[in-house]
Amino acid sequence: MPLVHIALIEGKPESHLRKISDAIHNALVETIAIPAQDRFHIITEHRKSHFVYDPQYLNIARTDDLVIVQITLSQGADRGNEEGAVCKNC
C-alpha cells in the first residue's frame, strides 16, 4: 500500500487537487501495478510563507504552482498467499 503525500500552496480548487491525485494514482497503477482501489493520499495545503523552495535550484524554474510529492512504499504481505504470510524477501 503506497502512502502518497501531496503538498502545495493553498488556494487551488478541489478539481485541481483531484487531478493531481488522479494523475499520481494512475501512474502508480500503471508502473508498479498496485490495485486500482489501493488509494491512500494525504493532501496538505500550506500558506505561502510555510512552503519554502528555491525558485531556480539546478537551473530549473519553479513557481508557486510547485507540487511536492512523497511516496512511501513498504514491502508487505504476499497477495498470492491465502494465509497472508510475509513475502520471502522481507
Which amino acids are annotated catalytic?
Answer: 2
Quick one: cell of 44? 496538505
User: What Å distances lie between residue 81 and 1, 32, 53, 76, 84, CA to CA?
Assistant: 16, 19, 44, 12, 5
Query: What is the signed CA dihedral for 58, 42, 14, 51, rounded to 10 degrees?
Result: -40
